[in-house]
Amino acid sequence: MTPTITAFADSPDGGVGLARDMRVRWALEEVGQPYDVKLVSFGEMKQPAHLSRNPFGQIPTFEDGALKLFESGAIIFHIAEQHPGLLPTEPQARMRAIMWMFAALSTLEPPIIDLEQSGFIDRGQPWESDARMEVLKDRIRVRLQQLADWLGDSDWLDGDFSAGDLMMIMVLRRLEGDNLVEDYPTLVAYMARGMARPAYGRAYDAQHQVYLAASAAR
Ligand SMILES: N[C@@H](CCC(=O)N[C@@H](CS)C(=O)NCC(=O)O)C(=O)O
């Protein structure tokens, strides 16, 4: 059966692949699993049909037969469990790749989202300040340095490319243009290696086509 994922009908990211369907598309492309995409508007995401897929009214979701999943981490973990290519078969290496997925989502992504959100949610609020932005950026810099130190001269986080790298690179991409990750050549090169993968390119093009069609219809 062909799984169906959901994605923004008109993504606010300008088609640059920062919406989280991109990471799921990339995983599906890596393992060679064809998929369908159901596009949802912001309004539809808060309606019962979509809330039955994800009670938080967000994308991406993943449906395959009776299985309905939300949370990009859970979806990619499932894809990686179902198909070879994204997780090592050796049990300890496999567990370490899963650990890196968690690290991306629970150690790197939260401070990055804090910074992202402070850029628009906090704007004009009494607590908005340059000092607060610097604190948020410094928190991220600590993690970026630690990650760069870990990577060193390695191509990937632990052995071959894995779902852990896929997730980490997608999380780091959220910093593009913020003059943060750009200060870490090791991480810039790491991201470029991931983004040079043919599966990444196919996923990027697919989500970009959606954006172009939405722009043309506007
Ligand atoms: N932790 C979730 C986050 C999902 C998420 O934040 N999705 C965004 C798009 S990238 C969304 O649907 N935003 C619209 C909203 O929250 O109303 C995951 O990794 O799947």
Please write the tens of the pLDDT for every residue from 178-192.
999 999 999 999 999
Residue nearest to atom 12 of ligand 1 (CA): 58
Tell me, in angstroms, the distance from the centre of ligand 1 to residue 26's CA: 17
Strand partners, 38: 6
Q: How many CB atoms lie within 10 A of CB 215?
A: 11
CA atoms within 13 A on the CB side of 122: 15
pTM of the model: 0.97
The share of the chain scoring above pLDDT 70, in percent, equals 100
Q: Give residue 119's pLDDT.
A: 81
Ligand 1 environment, Cβ below 6 A: 19-20, 45, 57-60, 71-73
Q: Does residue 28 contact residue 60 with C-beta atoms inside 8 Å?
A: no
Looking from the CA of residue 75, the nearest atom of ligand 1 is 20
Query: Hey, what are 177's tokens?
Result: 């243009």
Residue to mutate (ligand 1; options 5, 39, 58; most atoms within 8 A of CB): 58
Q: What pLDDT digit, counting tens, does each position of 62-103 carry? A: 999 999 999 999 999 999 999 999 999 999 999 999 999 999
Q: What pLDDT digit, counting tens, does each position of 118-129 carry? A: 887 878 888 888
Looking from the CA of residue 19, the nearest atom of ligand 1 is 10
H-state helical runs in the chain = 21-31, 42-45, 48-51, 72-82, 91-103, 109-120, 130-151, 163-173, 185-195, 198-217
Average pLDDT over residues 24-32: 98
